[in-house]
C-alpha cells in the first residue's frame, strides 16, 4: 500500500482500461495488506498524458477498499439493508438534518438510497461517491456514516462528509471516521486536495474539520439559499502534501505512513 512510485492519479489517461468488473474482481479477491488496505490495480499512463501531476509510469485508477476499513475504535464498511433501523435512528432526526442537504428520512428514503447510490463499494471514476457505515469495533453497532466523493479527476480533488447519531456524539468517533476517510482519499485514491463544505452555523462540523487537520479557506457569505433562507458556508481543505505531515491521535495507519 505504501512506498509506491509516484503515480498518475487520474482516470483520464487510463479510463478505457478500467472497467467496473475490475473493481468488483479486486474487491472480491484482494487480501488486506494492512489495517487500511485498499485493493488497487495500476495501469501504465498513456504516453503524452496532459495530466500535470502525472510524473510516473503507473496509474492508480480506482479506490476499492478491502472491507472493513479499520480505525482505532471503528470499522468502516458498505451499508446494507440490515442497517435500516440504525440509519433511521439518526437520519430521521430533524436536528441531524438541519445543516445537511437532505430532509429527515423515512424508511422508504433509506431503502431507496441503500439500493443506489449507497450500494457503491468502490470509486472508479470522477463523480463517484462512496458512503460507508461506521460501526463500533467493540459491538458492531452502526453509529454513523461517512462519504468520500471524487469531484475532479483533472484536478485530483475530492470532498468528504459525515453524519453521526447524536447518541454517540462528543466522543471523537466522527472525527476518527473522517480521518480514516482521509487515509482512503490521500493514501489510496491519491488525491491532491480534499475539501469539506460546512454550514457556518454548524460549529460541531467545523470543529471536526479542524480537528482532522483541515484548513479553513473561506467563509462564503449568503452563498446558498438553503432550506428557506440565505446561509453562509465555511470551506475547509487539505492538500496531499499537508496530509503527509498530519497525524491523528491513536491512528496506527498514520504511524505506518510515517515509517515509510
Ligand atoms: C458533525 C458531527 C458528525 C460532529 O459530531 P461530534 O460528536 O461533535 O464529533 P466527534 O464524534 O468527532 O466528537 C468530537 C467531540 O468529542 C470530544 N471527545 C470526547 N472524547 C474524545 C475522544 N476520546 N477522542 C476524541 N474526541 C473526544 C472532542 O473534544 C469533541 O468535542 P468538541 O467538539 O466539543 O471539542 C455531528 O454533529 C453530526 O452528525 N451532525 C449532523 C450531520 C452534520 O451536520 N454533518 C456535517 C455536515 S458538513
- 246 or 92, which is more confident: 92
Of 39 and 205, the structure prediction assigns the larger pLDDT to: 205
Of the two residues 206 and 255, the one the predictor is more confident about is 206
204 C-beta closer than 6 A to ligand 1: yes
Ligand 1 geometric centre to CA of 203 (Å) = 10
Q: Which residues contact 243 (CB under 8 A, 6 or more apart)?
A: 182, 186, 194, 213
pLDDT of residue 3: 27
Does the pLDDT value for residue 15 go beyond 90? no
Which CATH number does the domain housing residue 233 bear? Answer: 3.40.630.30
CA of 217 relative to ligand 1 center, distance in Å: 21
Query: In the chain, what percentage of residues exceed pLDDT 90?
Result: 72
Domain with 73, as residue range(s), is: 68-258
| Choice from 72, 147, 161, 164 to test ligand 1 binding pocket (greatest atom count within 8 A of CB) | 164
- Lowest-confidence segment of 109-113, 201-205, 221-225, 245-249 by average pLDDT: 245-249
Instruction: Kindly state whether residue 18 falls inside one of the protein's structural domains.
Output: no
Question: What DSSP string describes 205-250?
Answer: HHHHHHHTTPEEEEEEEEEEEETTEEEEEEEEEEEHHHHTT---TT
Q: Is 234 in the pocket of ligand 1 (CB under 6 A)?
A: no
No. of H helices and E strands in the chain? 8, 13
In a domain, 17, yes or no: no
Query: Is pLDDT of 4 > 80?
Result: no
Measured N-to-C along each axis, helices 173-182 and 203-211 cross at an angle, to the nearest 10 degrees, of 50
Residue 259's pLDDT band, with cuts at 50, 70 and 90, is low
Is residue 186 assigned to a domain?
Answer: yes
Q: Rounded CA gap, 122 and 130, in Å?
A: 6
Which helix (H) or strand (E) segment holds residue 164: the answer is strand 157-164
174 occurs within a structural domain: yes
pLDDT at 24 over 90: no
Ligand 1, atom 26: nearest CA belongs to which residue? 172
- Computed over every residue of the chain, the mean pLDDT equals 82
Distance 44 CA to ligand 1 centre (A): 41
Q: Is the Cβ atom of 169 under 6 angstroms away from ligand 1?
A: yes
Q: Domain for residue 60, yes or no?
A: no
Query: Does residue 62 belong to any structural domain of this protein?
Result: no
Task: Indicate the pTM of the whole model.
Answer: 0.83
In a domain, 21, yes or no: no
Interval 66-105: pLDDT, tens: 999 999 999 999 999 999 999 999 999 999 999 999 999 9
Residue 106 lies in a domain: yes
CB of residue 173 inside a 6 A radius of ligand 1: yes
Rounded CA-CA distance 148/182 in Å is: 8
Total of domains in the chain: 1
Give 146's Cβ-side CA count (13 Å radius).
27
191 lines ligand 1 (CB under 6 A): no
What band does 8 get if pLDDT is binned at 50, 70 and 90? very low
Question: Which residue is it, cell 487515509?
Answer: 183
Amino acid at each position: 500500500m505504501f512506498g509506491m512510485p509516484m503515480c498518475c492519479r487520474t482516470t483520464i489517461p487510463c479510463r478505457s482500461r478500467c472497467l467496473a468488473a475490475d473493481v468488483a474482481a479486486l474487491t472480491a479477491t484482494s487480501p488486506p495488506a494492512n489495517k487500511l488496505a485498499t485493493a488497487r490495480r495500476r495501469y501504465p499512463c498513456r504516453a503524452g498524458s496532459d495530466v500535470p501531476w502525472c510524473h510516473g509510469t503507473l496509474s492508480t485508477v480506482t479506490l476499492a477498499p478491502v472491507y472493513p476499513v479499520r480505525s482505532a475504535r471503528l470499522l468502516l464498511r458498505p451499508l446494507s439493508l440490515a442497517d435500516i433501523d440504525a440509519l433511521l435512528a439518526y437520519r430521521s432526526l430533524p436536528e441531524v438534518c438541519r445543516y445537511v442537504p437532505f430532509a429527515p428520512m423515512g424508511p422508504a428514503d433509506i431503502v431507496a438510497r441503500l439500493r443506489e447510490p449507497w450500494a457503491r463499494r468502490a470509486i472508479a471514476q470522477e463523480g463517484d461517491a462512496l458512503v460507508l457505515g461506521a460501526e463500533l469495533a467493540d459491538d458492531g453497532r452502526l453509529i454513523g456514516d461517512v462519504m468520500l466523493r471524487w469531484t475532479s479527476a483533472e484536478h485530483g480533488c475530492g470532498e468528504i462528509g459525515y453524519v453521526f447519531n447524536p447518541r454517540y456524539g462528543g466522543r471523537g468517533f466522527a472525527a476518527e471516521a473522517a480521518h480514516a476517510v482521509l487515509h482512503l482519499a490521500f493514501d489510496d485514491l491519491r488525491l491532491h486536495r480534499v475539501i469539506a463544505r460546512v454550514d457556518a452555523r454548524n460549529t460541531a462540523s467545523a470543529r471536526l474539520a479542524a480537528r482532522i487537520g483541515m484548513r479553513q479557506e473561506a467563509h462564503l457569505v449568503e452563498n446558498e439559499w438553503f432550506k428557506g433562507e440565505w446561509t453562509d458556508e465555511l470551506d475547509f481543505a487539505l492538500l496531499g502534501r499537508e496530509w503527509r505531515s498530519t497525524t491523528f491521535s491513536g491512528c496506527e495507519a498514520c504511524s505506518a505512513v510515517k515509517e515509510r
